[in-house]
Amino acid sequence: MTARRKKEWFDDDSFWRDMYPFMFPPKRFADAVLEVDKFLALIAPRGKNVLDLCCGPGRNSIPLAKRGFKVTGVDRAKFLLDKAKAKARAAKVKIDWIQADMRDFVRPESFHLVLNLLTSFGYFDDKNQDVAVLRNMFASLRPGGTCVIDVGGKEWLARIFQPTTSRLLPDGTLLVQRHEIFDDWTRIRNEWILIRKGRAKTFRFHHTIYSGQELKERMERAGFTDVKLYGDLDGGAYGSNAQRLIAVGRKP
Whether residue 128 contacts residue 230, with contact meaning beta carbons closer than 8 Å, is answered with no
Identify each DSSP E strand in 76-234 by its residue range. Answer: 96-99, 111-116, 141-151, 164-168, 174-182, 187-196, 199-208, 225-230
Q: Which of residues 13-32 bind ligand SAM (CB under 6 A)?
A: 16
Query: Which stretches of the chain are DSSP H helices?
Result: 13-23, 26-43, 61-66, 78-91, 127-140, 154-160, 212-221
When binding is defined by CB under 6 A, the residue of 80, 147, 209, 248 that contacts ligand SAM is 80
When binding is defined by CB under 6 A, the residue of 10, 203, 224, 230 that contacts ligand SAM is 10
Q: N- to C-terminal Cα distance for the chain? A: 27
The yes or no reply on residue 120 touching ligand SAM (CB under 6 A) is: yes
* Residues 170-209: x where in contact with ligand SAM by CB under 6 A, - otherwise, as a string: ----------------------------------------
Residues near 125 by Cβ (< 8 Å), separated by ≥ 6? 8
Name the residue nearer to ligand SAM (CB basis): 56 or 231. Answer: 56
Residue 197 CB, nearest distance to ligand SAM (Å)?
26
What CA–CA distance (Å, rounded) separates 68 from 63? 9
What CA–CA distance (Å, rounded) separates 85 from 78? 10
When binding is defined by CB under 6 A, the residue of 119, 177, 186, 190 that contacts ligand SAM is 119
Q: Which of residues 87-106 bind ligand SAM (CB under 6 A)?
A: 101-102
The yes or no reply on residue 61 touching ligand SAM (CB under 6 A) is: no
Residue 244 — φ and ψ, nearest 5°? -115, 150
When binding is defined by CB under 6 A, the residue of 56, 153, 212, 249 that contacts ligand SAM is 56
Name the residue nearer to ligand SAM (CB basis): 26 or 198. Answer: 26
Report how many residues bind ligand SAM under the rule CB under 6 A.
18
Residues near 34 by Cβ (< 8 Å), separated by ≥ 6? none
Note the maximum CA span of the chain: 56
* Residues 121-160: x where in contact with ligand SAM by CB under 6 A, - otherwise, as a string: --x-------------------------------------
Name the residue nearer to ligand SAM (CB basis): 10 or 111. Answer: 10
Residue 150 half-sphere exposure toward CB, CA atoms < 13 A:
21
When binding is defined by CB under 6 A, the residue of 75, 203, 209, 212 that contacts ligand SAM is 75
The yes or no reply on residue 60 touching ligand SAM (CB under 6 A) is: yes
Positions touching ligand SAM (CB under 6 A) are 10, 16, 54-56, 59-60, 75-77, 80, 101-102, 117-120, 123
